[in-house]
Amino acid sequence: MSKPTILITGCTKGSIGYSLAKQFAAQDYHVFATTRNIASMDDLSTIPNITLLPLDITSRDSVLSVHSIIAQQTGGRLDILYHNAGYRSLGMAIESSVDEAYKMFNTNLFGIILLNSVFSDMVIKTKGKIVITGSVSGYTPHPSQAVYNSSKAAVELYAKTLRMEMKPFGVKVLFVITAGVKTGMSSARLTLSENSNYRYLEGKINKAWEELEGDAMSPSVYARQVVAKVVKTSPPEEIWCGSGATTVWIIETLGIRWAYNIFFSRLFGLNAMAPSFEKEKKRK
């Protein structure tokens, strides 16, 4: 192919990946847009420069199959490998299941590791770029998503290490620290069991998420801002984007992380003792 090429994971309609695919195609890249179910992004097929491929990033057989297809079409070269697929579900830390935690880490971290092990040869040939969609959740202790926060924190350290290890081959590793973006993933709400210790806070927590989502950036605006930086000859190693990204950057830069505890504990209603414990305290 004469055009630069890019593989993007997680391109379901309405997602960040969907908007990224359209934006890179507009920048004259040939885009291999992937997701588990092609039907969830089938309208991308009408856009020039976009090829749709089914890909389950947690399946080695699926990853190898896509590698073979792209290698045949590009002569074994890939300019950008863009890790965007992700999985998020809500749950209080002490009430989260191991199975659900595995699903999040399998998609958010292990899938990235698998793709890099298979596609790195193609990116090395072009001295290209590996881009990873990170999250401010890797910094911020948002209540009700402790496992998701942990998976994103793990991804960041992996990306930083990968950056050093790929430098000898001329491959750039970019980490996109993503804040509020209005997608299907961001619209998730918490559902607690009747015997949950936090049952009394379910409404408060969901209201907090609604407030945070209300200020979120649209995926199309996010994609324009991110792609403009990714395609540069000398792109920044870290790209902060999304509603609230600047605030988190300032907190991290100044080292005033105590501000997270004050803000989130109040927003999510965790600044006061649970009613049942308060009653017990009064009886004593």
Tens of pLDDT, residues 89-128:
999 999 999 999 999 999 999 999 999 999 999 999 999 9
What is the C-alpha to C-alpha distance for residues 97 and 135, in angstroms, rounded to an integer? 22
CA Rg value for the chain? 20
In 3D space, the residue among 133, 24, 29, 40 whose CA is nearest the CA of residue 88 turns out to be 133
Q: What is the pLDDT of residue 21?
A: 97
**For the chain, domain boundaries:** 5-283
To 5 degrees, how large is the angle CA 234–CA 237–CA 243? Answer: 115
Q: Is the pTM of this model over 0.85?
A: yes
Residue 55 has pLDDT above 60, yes or no: yes
Q: What is the pLDDT of residue 1?
A: 67
Q: Could you say which DSSP state residue 216 is in?
A: P
User: Which residues belong to the active site?
Assistant: 148, 152
Tens of pLDDT, residues 186-238:
888 999 999 999 999 999 999 999 998 888 999 999 999 999 999 999 999 99
Which CATH code fits 5-283? 3.40.50.720
Q: With contact defined as beta carbons under 8 Å apart, do 177 and 134 qualify?
A: yes
Q: Is 167 exposed, middle or buried (0-12, 13-18, 19+ CB in 10 A)?
A: exposed
Contacts of 201 (CB under 8 A, 6+ apart): 268, 269, 270
Tens of pLDDT, residues 61-78:
999 999 999 999 999 999
